[in-house]
Amino acid sequence: MENKCIYAKKCGGCDYQGVDYPKQLETKEANVKKLLKDFVKVSPIVGMDNPYHYRHKVHAVFGCVGRGQVVAGVYKKNSHDIVDIENCQIEDKEADKIIRDVKGLLKSFKIKAYDEDTGYGLLRHVLVRKGYHTGEIMVVLVLVSPILPSKNNFVKALRKNHPNISTVVINVNDKKTSMVLGERNIVVYGKGFIEDKLCGCTFRISPNSFYQVNPAQTEHLYEKAIQCAKLSGKEIVIDAYCGTGTIGIIASKHAKEVLGVELNKDAIRDAITNAKRNDIKNIRFVNDDAGKYMVSLAEKKENVDVVIMDPPRSGSDEAFLSSVVKLSPKRVVYVSCGPDTLARDLKYLTKKGYQVEEATPFDMFPFTSHTEVVVALSKKR
């Protein structure tokens, strides 16, 4: 076990701070077993060998205390006071170091951290994203205005200690909001995005793109999902709630055709870019509500062999699930980040002709109470 987290009392980000890792896994597994007991015998949880510093997306909020002393870290639980964090047990160490270095450079560049109360100052947040397999790093400086003094020298100074930084982007957020990123990105160094690899495919990560924060475990999760789909190369597959297309793109190599559906327009744009980047021709993406889209497929009596679904924590909805039943695919693979809503949706599907074959929990977020589960269902004969 690493030393106890010195920020635990103030930060409140980790629900399982002070709990041994094996005990954390035991608790999560028991919770999933309890929720799914009526459907299947749950497989052992897939934990991490090293549960520390797994976050490859790290965000720090910047601010001032006292007479202009800069702090950078996270908001204290239920408040807008910032806890100054040197290094966090679950964040990538290099990302934390970069955030420290940004903080250290502010004074000599005469850059002021933003003060929420007075609205004075420039730098609001720093976001660091790191590719797991590529090691490429993107630094996003979230500013109130688009102008960063001596920006080229600032980048140079930052890259001197961290040559892995392959791109630096200014994101402009001038709104009074709790959202970290604004809409406008200005590339000040590099391409404005990084790339990473997962399960042999390459994915683009832009400042605003959704990308799993724990890539090591994501690979295990996706591998399991694809394995559960039992693809032979002949299937028509739906990747519902597809985000930036990751699961569908990986699956497309083993399927005849994949159709991805996702509500978020930006995510769909990234998904199309990702498919092109991997030279994949048998995948299409649709920007729509997954439920609505499935209803339209069901009305047209489309032929669908496998449905892979990865809904948000709130789970799926009746429109979607009833259309799955109508489309009657051989297999459904349910990737869930909310075991409660998973249990609710499984209840529906198992009443309507599907049976659960296996369920495997994954610990994607050590030290937090979240658990992901991959479930394989098949049509009852």
Residues that bind ligand SAH (CB under 6 A): 210, 212, 241-243, 246-247, 261-264, 267, 289-291, 310-312
Distance of closest approach, residue 153 Cβ to ligand SAH, in angstroms = 37
User: Could you confirm whether 228 is annotated as catalytic?
Assistant: no
Length of the chain, in residues: 381
Q: How far is the CB of 267 from ligand SAH (least distance, A)?
A: 5
Closest approach of Cβ 316 to ligand SAH, in Å? 8
Instruction: For residues 171 and 185, give the distance between their C-alpha atoms in angstroms, rounded to a whole number.
Output: 4
Question: Which of 135, 111, 123 lies closest to 82 in space, CA to CA?
Answer: 123
Q: Residue 309 or residue 343: which is nearer to ligand SAH going by CB?
A: 309
Judged by beta carbon, residue 63 or residue 243, the one nearer ligand SAH is 243
Pull the structure tokens for residue 108.
């000599």
Alpha helical stretches, state H, the chain: 8-11, 21-36, 93-105, 151-161, 215-229, 246-252, 265-277, 290-299, 318-327, 339-351
Which one, 317 or 358, has the nearer CB to ligand SAH?
317
Give whichever of 94 and 270 is closer to ligand SAH, judged by the CB atom. 270
Report CA dihedral (192, 200, 130, 275) to the nearest 10 degrees: 30
Candidates 5, 11, 14, 337; catalytic one: 337
Answer whether 49's CB lies under 8 Å from 35's CB: no
Least distance to ligand SAH from the beta carbon of 332, Å? 15
Residue 307 backbone class (left: φ over 0; alpha: ψ -120 to 50; beta: rest):
beta
Catalytic residues: 337
